[in-house]
Amino acid sequence: MPLRKINSYPEQEPFSDIGKIYNVEAQKLSAGIEGENFSYGDDTYQEVAVFSSANPSGNIVAFMHGGGWVNGYKEWVAFMAPALNELGITFVSIGYRLAPNVMWPDGAHDVAKALKWINDNINDHGGDPARLFIGGHSAGGHYASWLAIRDDWQEAVGLDKEFIRGALPVSGVYDFTPGNGMEMKPRFLGDSEVNEIDASPIHTIKRTPPFLITWGDRDLPPLMPQAEKMAQALLDRGGKVETLILSECDHAEASYECGKSNGQWIPKLLKWIDSS
């Protein structure tokens, strides 16, 4: 099935000022890029978009859009597919349900189910399930990191705890506890203080697969020190971590950089994948 049209989704929460600009630019960058749409659940948002390479290497990058856990579409990041496909990478964009319709940890559990779909079906699209790297931008980077460092969700969906080969969050969020630098607690966490800890990858590290942590040098102020602290926390636990600071990139531009074949992120990503 072809990719879903964004106007076919149920209405979302009003976009922030940054979100309004990103929504327009991401759709512009992704216009005309073809992929295949598959469902892993009954909800409109429980879908994946698969972009196959003409000459697949077996490597898979599964990626999640941002949007503050209340906005976003898997079609937003289709612009990443051409550069990755050219390198033999099968690209999968994962959709997930949004707050306030669902709250923590339902969105993360959606992604876990999507990973199970990838495990069971990606061979048909040139991917090797043993070569899966999971990433995301902003809120998507949070989900990718959380799933990569935890060991308590895999059994529920029938996956091995070592299934994720590596994690590549871009401008991710790693800490929701007091003192994290964020002006307010994201709505998807609800009122529970327990959720603040449970949803924070930096405070719940159980596994340390290889990480490539990326952020912009003009990113959102709370996220830059969070990224540095997350990298150090993984290193302190014996993890293999590389970092990349994208020059002249704000929060949105860090995402756009991920679609540039000769930009800052793609060449670094390829070297990192080859060494992981």
- The confidence band for 1, taking pLDDT boundaries of 50, 70 and 90, is confident
- The confidence band for 179, taking pLDDT boundaries of 50, 70 and 90, is very high
Tokens (6 digits) for 8 = 């076919």
Chain centre distance of CA 192: 24
Confidence (pLDDT) at 192: 87
CATH topology of domain 21-275: Rossmann fold (3.40.50)
Q: Where are the domains of the chain?
A: 21-275
Tokens (6 digits) for 202 = 């930096």
Once rounded to an integer, what is the mean pLDDT over residues 247-270? 98
Of the candidates 276, 40, 63, 58, the one whose C-alpha atom is nearest the C-alpha of residue 162 is: 276
For 70-123, write each residue's pLDDT tens digit.
999 999 999 999 999 999 999 999 999 999 999 999 999 999 999 999 999 999
